[in-house]
Amino acid sequence: MKQKAQSIFEKAKESLSSAKDLKILYDRKVLYLGKKGELSLLMKNLKNIPLEERPQWGQFFNKLRSDLEEIYLKKQEELSHKELSERIKKEKLDLSLSGPRLLNGSLHPISLIINHIMELFKPLGYSVQTGPFVESDWYNFEALNIPPFHPSRDLQDTFYINDDHVLRTHTSPVQIRVLEKESLPIAVLAPGSVFRCDSDISHSPMFHQVEGLFVDTKVSFADLKGTLSFFLKQLFSPETKIRFRPSYFPFTEPSAEYDISCPFCKEKGCSICKRSGWIEIGGCGLVHPKVFEFTKHDKNKWQGFAFGLGVERIAIILYGVPDIRLFFENDMRFLKQFKSL
Ligand code: PHE
């Protein structure tokens, strides 16, 4: 048996050492050292050997096995090394291949317009403030003199978070936040996202407004008209005409909506201005005395004007974009086209 074992050992040693790759090496290991391998089969004969001789035989076999394992491990390391270095040699890194192209980021067209509007108001001394998107009933409605039964609170327009909080439906709550914490006089712009439950070619449930608030001791509607005319003529063109139409907002009195003459048809009437020759830009008015009361300012001392404008509407006119939804679909082919104004 010893001779038989020795010859299996020699055969196995020779066979393992001459394996040409890892797969062959592993197959050969199984053949000699596996459970059904030649050595294991031979070891089954141990049971026919007298009990007192078994330990020696056991030792003998274990030594053969561990020697073979060692040979196997050495060979395995050698072959892995060889295969790796061959692979490295073969797989040359081709530095001349062009890599994936990285796209340059750019500002969103809505951000470009907002930045431009802020630049235009800078020389008039306006600073910039922002407010939260989730607003309490107080800021979004109550302090703006919008009573509980007012239609603008309608569930169909307003996204309610709970009984007391909404996604702000306009940027006017920033008027209240500013009046509550800043000292007067003041001139601020408040740009940002607003939310209304509305969606079609000209409405998006999330859109943007820029709010303007100017407060001093002697402010009239003429100041409001002058400011908006100055701004709108710069934004569009010096020939642009501005029209104010009487309107109603609970937080301004008197209130107006303001339009620009249609830059596409020069007031002749086209599909963009719905044949009217004018395009509505936003709402405005003189700050309502109630708003000063709610924010604990002397309504007999302070006067002011406020205005809001829809940023998407301006972007649509300046960039000639036909559908508001294009701004928020994040199609790179669309977004790539916009450069700052
Ligand atoms: N907040 C009003 C709106 O969203 C616009 C507005 C702002 C009107 C400021 C008057 C003064 O329609």
- Here the tokens at position 212 are 């303007």
The b/e string for 142-154 (b: 16+ C-beta within 10 A; e otherwise) is: ebbbbeeeeeebe
- Here the tokens at position 18 are 């001459």
Q: What is the dihedral of CA 244, 245, 251, 253, to 10 degrees?
A: 90
Residue 287 alpha carbon to ligand 1 centre in Å: 11
Pairing assessment for the beta strands 186-195 and 127-128 based on DSSP bridges: parallel
pLDDT score of 60? 86
pLDDT score of 5? 82
Residue 308 alpha carbon to ligand 1 centre in Å: 5
Query: Could you report the per-residue pLDDT of 176-234, keeping only the tens digit for each?
Result: 999 999 999 999 999 999 999 998 888 899 999 999 999 999 999 999 999 999 999 99
Q: How far apart are CA 165 and CA 272, in angstroms?
A: 36
Pocket of ligand 1 contains residue 207 by CB under 6 Å: no
Pocket of ligand 1 contains residue 131 by CB under 6 Å: no
Q: How far apart are CA 7 and CA 15, in angstroms?
A: 12
Specify the residue with its C-alpha closest to ligand 1, atom 10: 284
Residue 164 alpha carbon to ligand 1 centre in Å: 21
- Here the tokens at position 185 are 């006089």
Backbone angles phi, psi at 58, to 5 degrees: -55, -45
pLDDT score of 339? 80
Residue 284 alpha carbon to ligand 1 centre in Å: 6
Beta-carbon count within 10 A of 298 CB: 11
- What mean pLDDT value characterizes the chain? 92
In testing the pocket of ligand 1, which one of 249, 258, 288, 305 has its CB within 8 Å of the most ligand atoms? 249
Query: Could you report the per-residue pLDDT of 326-339, keeping only the tens digit for each?
Result: 999 999 899 989 88
pLDDT score of 36? 84
- Separation in Å, CA 274 to CA 164, 319, 324, 327: 39, 18, 16, 22
Specify the residue with its C-alpha closest to ligand 1, atom 7: 308
Pocket of ligand 1 contains residue 177 by CB under 6 Å: no
pTM, rounded to two decimals: 0.72
pLDDT score of 230? 97
Specify the residue with its C-alpha closest to ligand 1, atom 3: 170
Q: Which residue has the tokens 């620009």?
A: 260
pLDDT score of 329? 94
Q: Which residue has the tokens 């031979």?
A: 42
- Looking at the CA of residue 255, tell me the nearest atom of ligand 1: 10
Residue 232 alpha carbon to ligand 1 centre in Å: 17
> What DSSP string describes 292-306?
HHHTT--TTT-EEEE
Q: How far apart are CA 202 and CA 316, in angstroms?
A: 10
Query: Strand, helix or coil at 257?
Result: strand
Residue 41 alpha carbon to ligand 1 centre in Å: 93
Pairing assessment for the beta strands 303-310 and 278-287 based on DSSP bridges: antiparallel
- Looking at the CA of residue 212, tell me the nearest atom of ligand 1: 9
Q: How far apart are CA 155 and CA 153, in angstroms?
A: 6
Low-confidence ranges of the chain (pLDDT < 70): none
Q: What is the DSSP letter of 102?
A: P
pLDDT score of 287? 98
Specify the residue with its C-alpha closest to ligand 1, atom 9: 307
- Looking at the CA of residue 307, tell me the nearest atom of ligand 1: 9
pLDDT score of 131? 98
Pocket of ligand 1 contains residue 304 by CB under 6 Å: no
Backbone angles phi, psi at 303, to 5 degrees: -135, 160
> What DSSP string describes 183-226?
PSSEEEEEEEEEE-S--BTTB-SEEEEEEEEEEESS--HHHHHH
In testing the pocket of ligand 1, which one of 154, 169, 172 has its CB within 8 Å of the most ligand atoms? 172
Pocket of ligand 1 contains residue 196 by CB under 6 Å: no
